Amino acid sequence: MLQFLIRRLTGAVVIMFLIGAFTFFLFYTIPQDFAALSCGKNCSPENLAVIRENLGLDKPITTQFWEFMSGIVAGRDFPQGHCSAPCLGVSFDSGDFVWDSIVDRFPLTLSLTVGGLVIFLTLGLGSGLLAAWKRGTMIDKLVSGASIVLSSFQIYLLGPIVLGILVYSTGLMENPKYHPFTENPAAWALGLLIPWAVMATIFTAQYTRMSRSTMIEQLQEEHVRTARAKGMSQRYVFFRYAWRGSLIPIVTILGIDLSALLAGAVVTEFTFDLPGLGRLAVESSVTKDLPLTMGIMLFGAFFILLLNIVVDLAYAYIDPRVRLS
């Protein structure tokens, strides 16, 4: 286990370096004067020179790259002050440290992802197991049919419909709003309930079909039939042997979906007018805020790598036959 973690973490560091180098040189090869963008209209040559110096754009590109990469590990000094590690630079548009902007927006995006995840996993796995347990019955047909219908919806379609019914027409609920969990857990949950419900509706359908099919497949495995032949109860065999084995493909898809949820947060946040990390990424692209865009890309890449490692660890926990070495 320890050797596996060391190998994966080492590989993750190398990949993050390559991603950082690729994005840096890709963006900085754009024929655009970012100092002029920060200076605005009617910018004097003196102000332009000062801004270029403050942003470090007057240095050779290799020097800028070294300062950028070393700043992630050791921090950097700017005219605005010292930027502690991990330092991802200074925003061209606001003048704030990029890391501070990411940390300020990320709790909302994380809350959306985790809350939706808990709901759609609970409902999806539960309904899928129920359909597999009642295979061939009316319950199985209803669950399978509902999952097919719900899987055709998208957040940008279902979100406005739910808002129109629950918020604008009936007034049963207020517009989604983010409250820090540490300040008021109840307000935090209530403010994000509508986005969670919409996300759960869409993703539950996928996990219902998947958990049902994988459970039915596991029930045909030899070790499950052997357990039945030994006289074990249907309920015990279902949950002790078949259910655990059915989780491996679900964990695989879950790792991909978590990355998609983080990457697709922009759709959810714009649909429900929430100022999260996805919305910040779009705003930075519109304003051509290069350091902020690069910082968000590196931050997202880090989480995707982290999720891949967690998925591999989950394999070994779910199925003892899997050897990480």
- Residue ranges of the domains in the chain? 19-86, 101-320
Phi/psi of residue 24, each to 5°? Answer: -60, -55
- Tell me if 208 sits within 8 A of 143, measured CB to CB: yes
Q: Can you tell me whether residue 107 is helix, strand or coil?
A: helix
H or E segment and range at residue 55: none
Is 112's pLDDT higher than 80?
Answer: yes
- Tell me if 76 sits within 8 A of 83, measured CB to CB: yes
Digit-coded pLDDT (tens) for 224-275: 778 777 777 777 777 777 777 777 778 878 877 777 777 667 788 888 888 8
Q: Which two tokens stand for residue 227?
A: 């357990």
H or E segment and range at residue 133: helix 98-133
The reported pLDDT for the residue numbered 226 is 80
Residue type, 121: L
CATH fold of 101-320? MetI-like fold (1.10.3720)
Query: Length of the chain, please?
Result: 325
Other C-beta atoms lying within 10 Å of the C-beta of residue 104? 13
The pTM score is 0.82
Digit-coded pLDDT (tens) for 286-302: 887 888 888 888 888 88
Residue type, 103: V
H or E segment and range at residue 81: strand 81-83
DSSP 8-state symbol, 78? E
Distance between CA 152 and CA 149 in Å, rounded?
A: 6
